[in-house]
Chains A and B, each alone.
Chain A
Amino acid sequence: MRRIALGFLLFVTHFCDAQFGSPIAFSDSQEKTVLEASPEFFILDWKPNTSLHISETPLEIITDSVGAQKVNLFRDNTEAPILYSSNIITPVCADGDCKFMHITLYWTLLGDYAGFDRSVKEPLTKHDHDEFLFSDYWKLHDLLKDDNSILKRRAIDELVTKPKPSKIEGVDALSGATVKEVKESVVSGALYSCYVAWHLVHGKIKEQIKAHTVQQQDEAMLVQMLNNDHTNYQMYALENLDQNQYKVNFSRVSELFKSGIPLVRSFIIKNLASSFSQSPTTMQPFWDALPYIDINTRSLLLQHIDFASDATVTHISTQLSVLTKNQLLKYLEHLASKKVISTEVLKNLEHFSASNKEKNAYLVTEFLEDNS
């Protein structure tokens, strides 16, 4: 990370050898000390009637030719930290031609990209000096959302080279992924602005913001994060809540098991692995989620099949379609380990095995043959 931020500074210095014209103008949102509406491009939920007020932090971003620019923290009326923000003015240079870019950037409490406000007076422009269209801002927003963008690990000159034509197939060979990926992700004609903006958002400030938040972290903040829709908040809360707090917030945790992204679900189930044997009934909501969760999480869930209630095992026999081949084999292996298989389960197995629409019907057929 550090390396990339450093690289960015070097890059800016290098490209800013050219002379600047007029002095710096300030972005409109510069004076905003209260936020009463969501930033124009924003990834978090904005609840109606939210009013955030600004507070200072020791954090700053240094851009070339402009110097230090403050990073502020917006808090809600209970003084809980909500959002970091900075009004940025930074030079963008391409082929010796430099312009200033004005933009207000927002970060989450964990230093992830949260959104931006454009400057009405000083809109972003492209290489040919055309102003950004609204759709271009959206594209920039999409780019900034991608914390693992290809812009991260490439120097700017690496992003504009074309792949060598193939010796055997001529120019019609497979195109280099890099150039294509870059083209798809940046605003056409504004590679340099996009590059600079991305590295500002995802530069070393990210870590500093997170560290600043961690200093003020308390249980209330974690619970808020757990209840937020933003995945990184959920994940951070899940990683930092202790066992007891898991219990207290169990209904939200089990809800996230159903509604969260696969990564969140897998984390939850791995973290609660021992609960399947220790308090099987509490874990019932997890079994109920079986048909709705992704394949990876379902595999992790099925690892606990030996602790599932008979009712659950029977219920799964009506859900065989959602199981992958190996998941089905795991389930059948569990059945085989039982002394008796209930008639209801057998009936469901036979029904499944007779279906000509089921990819894995043959496995159940073989199982029934072997266990008859």
Chain B
Amino acid sequence: MSNILEVKDLVVSFHTFGGEVQAVRGVNFSVPKGKTVAIVGESGCGKSVTAKSIMQLLPKPPAEYKQGEILFNGDNILAKSERDMQRIRGNEIGMIFQDPMTSLNPTTKVGAQITEGILKHKDVSRKEARSQAIELLNLVGIPQPEKRVDQYPHEFSGGMRQRAMIAISLACEPDLLIADEPTTALDVTIQAQILKLMKDLQNKTGTSIILITHDLGVVAETCDHVVVMYAGQVIETGTVEEVFETPQHPYTKGLMKSVPRLDQDKKQPLIPIIGSPPDLMDPTEGCPFFARCEYAMEVCRDHNPSFEYMGGNQHASCWLHHPLAKASE
């Protein structure tokens, strides 16, 4: 098996005061070993919920895994006990969060936050763990790691903190690294450094990466596969070339036009997608993109298209690819 992770028909809901929020509604994608897969989509479309589901970090309640499987190295993660999950988290799957300013514990030394995971998963002494932490800080490009290891997060800049986060997540050399918008909160120049760092580390360790991002330029540059999410569903997947060259879903096309890309001509005007994603509290039967789609057809109003093979590695869910649609053109 060459896929390290396969997410199959995942459905996750939140039970809130107002009712059931269907945050993830049947997500399918896989991560090949050693590759980088991007998850893109507007905010609120379920990217973080999907990522946290893989780590089983969602609090239950209010979250409920209603359906589906998440196969990690062939084992269904959703069926594992909390104890087993604790062995997997940090050890086999690492995770980096969006905001480095809040994702480190302010009252604990950075070094201690790195060694915590090492001591949990590896049979090493405190002293060894500490020297590993220093090594890791060095690896992620933090100068004077011997001094830095005893400092607190507030003594680090934002970029440094994110480097420290990467050190934490890589401390036990996980097979899969999930980075949930790791650069969104950082300056542009630092974003590039952090991404380069992740890429370099991947080349060294062979880790597979799931990279959640808004930045299609980043996707084009650093990723192998793309998963496009909308309203809790995957609406298109494929290799980076396929999705960028021949986007099959109107939403993907809109996304391409609406966000700035580092790899593209600056002069090209940005065209935002009008409207906003549907309320996941009570989603319609039809295609969730219906209300915002310039190619919308009658069928889209009440029927949600299925996820279809588009050739190559590409899949998409859109009625435009139905034979009848092609015929009526």
Verify that A and B bind, or say they do not.
no
Binding site for A on B (CB under 8 A): none
